[in-house]
Amino acid sequence: MDIAGELNPQQQQAVTSSGRAILVLAGPGSGKTRVLAHRIAHLVQQRSVAPWAIMAVTFTNKAAREMRERVERLLGGQPDGLTLGTFHATCARILRRQADCLTAPADFVIYDAKDQESVVKQALKKLNLDEKRYRPRQILSIISRAKNELIAPEAFQARTYLEEVAGRVYGEYQALLRENDALDFDDLLMQVVFLLDTHPAVLRKYQQRYRHILVDEFQDTNTAQYVLIKQLAGGQGNLFCVGDEDQSIYLFRGADWRNVRRFREDYPESETILLEQNYRSTQLILDAAQAVIKRNSNRTHKALFTERKGGARITVGEPYDEDEEAEFVVNTIRRGNADPGSYAIMYRTNAQSRRIEEAFVRAGMPYRLVGATRFYARREVKDVIAYLRVVHNQADSIGLLRIINVPPRGIGAKTIAALQNWAAEQGIPLAAALEKIAATGDGTRSGRAPLPFPGRARKALVRFANLLTGWVMQRDTVPVPELMDLILEKSGYRAYLCDGSREGEDRWENILELRNVAREYPELTLTEFLERVALVSEVDNLTDEGDAPTLLTLHAAKGLEFPTVFILGVEEGILPHKRSWDEPEQMAEERRLFYVGITRARNKLYLLHCFRRAFWGDPDLGLPSRFLSDLPPELIDDREGMAAGAAVSYDYTGSALFSPRSSGTVGRSLLTPARAPSRGISPSPVKSRPIARPVEPSYRTGQRVRHDSFGEGIVIEAEPADGDEIVTVAFEDKGLKRLLASMAKLQAVDDE
């Protein structure tokens, strides 16, 4: 979609409407980003509104950047003072500016998921609770939910035993964050809401400044975000929200599509505008998407249409296993003569990406991977950031503990524990204790309190403390990249990584990458650099450069579009994910996720589901996703099937495998056609499982057998193992079992 084109009547209406709150429900590919940008430009050009009186909030930095670029093109330059950024970044700015109203100082640090986990562990320890019994991640998700719902520790009400525990941890957790001058992601939002709630003067200031508030991806707002928007918009209702209920896929982090309804209730005068024309996909793809999403209730119906009538039918394929799935993708791309960059490969879980990556590597083809082990979550990157964070704010003991002995410098667990105790005894932060020790020098006495450290440990502590103080003294005069160099050298971290190993080299390269980020933004202070690093995500760095297919999760795909899209693992247990099976609400979200995936495709869509899928090491059956049966058969090209690459052509509509989950058990559906495993299609260097047979197999695929307690079934696979044989059998009543031939005493049933 180019900005040169005309706006259609609905878009035009959305851009120019005024005088009341507006809710734009925009279908996929309907140009909502464009509408937002045009509206900002429109407001500025009206002259009645100064750019600094406009606040536009998005969820990702990428969306913010895209919007900024569009606005710039429309206005022929950057509007002065326009507030345009993500919720989190905007909140962080407000908090730093209003620090005097808060418990947290302006130089607070931001904790990510890993740091949060460490804090929970500390809190558990403090409360004498066993972290094996109360899993930190679980506790954390309860705390996070509370924060997203704006429930402070004091107001937290437990409804289960675990919640009771979590409630206590929550209080301790917040206290620890405060001690560390730290905020987590959820705090950024919650604290701003609390701040505006308790400081009317501050609230008034922001309300008076921001005359227009625009919100992107409104369906993904959680309660905290919604309340924040409402606070800022005040009564005047110059609120402009754009979203699509059908693309709400962040329930798990507190997003609440009911905010759409709340909005209508809170602003009864508001106007709702539907954007139904799609400028992205073919009609066929749109039809498929609508067939899928139609089955959800609680949605505003939109009649999506496009001028791109017809279109290539959807290829649904069933490769044998993940390897064949990956080979199919690679071969299809290789054989097609389209630009490799026009392909996207999407999947439900990050864990699925590995097989595809391997296939691309084998084929010698480049690819772009979004997410997975996220750059900023890598150990070495986190280490360096921890160094910077501690230099920035010594109260950050989580960061300090991370690096105090990395690289190893003689400060072991014993010494650290002693240091922690000693600090706690005196009620001072860890770093202050460290400093105090250093202040005593190498001497043996320090006034009254004798230091509890033997000579060797103290020497190490003093050395480290001196390093730290040195960096702290330089942090305001030395630019961030140089500060990084200094730390990397003097801490011995570079030498520690560059030990000559291949892995060390890779890790060092990641550090250089981080340094490049710092170099790219030379004007950023240390505080700003750290904030940026904490609040950007991988998708944000996805650029258009590079002529390679893109690998990404369905979540990461939102807002993007590609000429050709593969969705992998369209199977029960994966999409929909098995964690969603018993929650209708979550199941609806899985459906929306699938919908998001489908609607990313401009021209051509491939949906793949494996016959066999290994979950964690153990092979299991793949059952086609129930969502596939919602696709009208005439939209599917099942004859082409896997012919282009892999093996099986497959009749979908008639198969038991294809029926919804409720109507067939694993065992029964298997009994229909016992399929021979097909091997990968690509020629040689493909990593193939050893097919060598040290022992002649005594069972063959498709053979009928009887087991003493499991009854009758069909052999799915028989593979030799150390002189024995592992037989996988699908039993009529008991489902799939893997058995050791010597133990199972299977009897052949010859009823043919």
Partner DNA sequence: AACAAACGGCTTTTT
Partner DNA sequence: GCCGTTTGTT
Distances (CA, A) of 372 to 348, 404, 501, 514, 597: 12, 28, 23, 17, 18
C-alpha span between 241 and 251 (Å, rounded): 18
Determine if 83 is a binding residue for DNA (CB under 7 A). no
Catalytic residue among 11, 33, 221, 277: 33
Contacting DNA within 198-227 (CB under 7 A): none
Q: Which of 303, 413 has the CB closer to DNA? A: 413
The residue within the footprint of DNA, chosen from 277, 282, 397, 553 (CB under 7 A), is 553
The residue within the footprint of DNA, chosen from 379, 639, 693, 745 (CB under 7 A), is 379
Q: Largest Cα–Cα distance of the chain, in whole Å?
A: 94
Locate 544 and state its tokens.
Answer: 């258009």
Kindly state the DSSP code that residue 7 receives in the 8-state scheme.
P
Would you call 32 a catalytic residue per the annotation? yes
Determine if 500 is a binding residue for DNA (CB under 7 A). no
Catalytic residue among 186, 216, 287, 322: 216
How many residues touch DNA under the rule CB under 7 A: the total is 50
Contacting DNA within 603-642 (CB under 7 A): 614, 616-617
Contacting DNA within 449-488 (CB under 7 A): 457
The residue within the footprint of DNA, chosen from 540, 561, 640, 712 (CB under 7 A), is 540
Q: Quickly count: other Cβ atoms within 10 Å of residue 408's Cβ.
A: 10
Q: Quickly count: other Cβ atoms within 10 Å of residue 17's Cβ.
A: 15
The residue within the footprint of DNA, chosen from 308, 354, 679, 737 (CB under 7 A), is 354
Would you call 216 a catalytic residue per the annotation? yes
Determine if 373 is a binding residue for DNA (CB under 7 A). yes
Distances (CA, A) of 181 to 105, 140, 200, 421, 432: 7, 19, 25, 20, 14
Class of residue 166 by CB neighbours under 10 A (exposed 0-12, middle 13-18, buried 19+): buried
Query: Least distance in Å: CB of 645 to DNA?
Result: 21
Determine if 248 is a binding residue for DNA (CB under 7 A). no
SS3 assignment, position 12:
helix
Query: 576 preceded by cis ω (within 30°)?
Result: yes
The residue within the footprint of DNA, chosen from 113, 439, 449, 512 (CB under 7 A), is 113
H or E stretch at 716 = strand 711-721
The residue within the footprint of DNA, chosen from 239, 286, 487, 556 (CB under 7 A), is 556
SS3 assignment, position 346:
strand
C-alpha span between 266 and 158 (Å, rounded): 29
Here's the x/- map for DNA, 402-431, by CB under 7 A: it reads as ---x--xxxxxxxx----------------
Query: Least distance in Å: CB of 731 to DNA?
Result: 24
Distances (CA, A) of 480 to 56, 406, 524: 29, 21, 8
Q: Which of 161, 709 has the CB closer to DNA? A: 161
Stretches 45-53, 240-248, 288-296, 578-586: which one binds DNA (CB under 7 A)?
Answer: 578-586
Determine if 247 is a binding residue for DNA (CB under 7 A). no
Would you call 459 a catalytic residue per the annotation? no
Would you call 532 a catalytic residue per the annotation? no
Q: Which of 499, 651 has the CB closer to DNA? A: 499
The residue within the footprint of DNA, chosen from 451, 535, 542, 746 (CB under 7 A), is 535
Distances (CA, A) of 687 to 362, 680, 681: 9, 9, 12
The residue behind tokens 């990406």 is 353
C-alpha span between 640 and 49 (Å, rounded): 57
Would you call 132 a catalytic residue per the annotation? no
Measured between alpha carbons, how far apart are the two ends of the chain, in Å? 62
Locate 448 and state its tokens.
Answer: 């009254």
Query: Least distance in Å: CB of 125 to DNA?
Result: 11
Would you call 90 a catalytic residue per the annotation? no
C-alpha span between 194 and 231 (Å, rounded): 11
Name the site residues for DNA (rule: CB under 7 A): 59-61, 86-89, 112-113, 132, 135, 137, 185, 249-250, 252-253, 348-351, 354, 371, 373, 379, 405, 408-415, 457, 535, 537-540, 553, 555-556, 577, 579-580, 586, 614, 616-617
Active site residues: 32-33, 216-217, 247, 600
